[in-house]
Copies of this chain bind each other. A is one copy, B any other.
């Protein structure tokens, strides 16, 4: 018995982005309840040369949608990175989930040996599909969701591991 590239990718991305959306909704409610300027959370970062919360959320969606699109060989969704509020970030997450839901399993299944290439700031990289998924895309999605979680935890939001993992 075997599993498929689709089973090891898109459902996990959707779950991670939905969990992050729920965390951001808690953060927004927390800011309202405590009369905290939402920007104090949205622009928070763990170190001056790390990305702030807004960018971590954008990168979580880009990692998931870009990774899935490259495996499926469809256009990579491009967003403008203009989000400046919690509702706008949640909308980006929801939009990314809708994109992921449109991807047919058949376009991703069988891509484990396919060569995936992508452009970084300084070079072109390529990996085989399975390594691209397991060593690059999945770790990146979880990295940015976890870092968003850590920024909010560090700033006092009362969330726990189950918010990160999802409750079902």
Cβ contacts under 8 Å, A32 to chain B: none
Q: Is the CB of B139 within 8 A of A164?
A: yes
Report whether B46 and A3 are in contact in the complex, using a CB–CB cutoff of 8 Å.
Answer: no
Interface string of A128-156 (1 = CB under 8 A from B): 00100011101110110011001001101
Give the number of copies in the complex: 2
Interface status of A7 (Cβ within 8 A of chain B): yes
- Give the dominant DSSP class at A's interface: helix
Q: Contacts of A105 on B, CB cut-off 8 Å?
A: none
Q: Is the CB of B47 within 8 A of A134?
A: no
With the chains together, A161 CA to B146 CA distance in Å? 13
B residues near A143, Cβ cutoff 8 Å: 142, 146, 161, 164
Q: Residue A138 contacts which of B5, B112, B135, B142 (CB distance < 8 angstroms)? A: B142
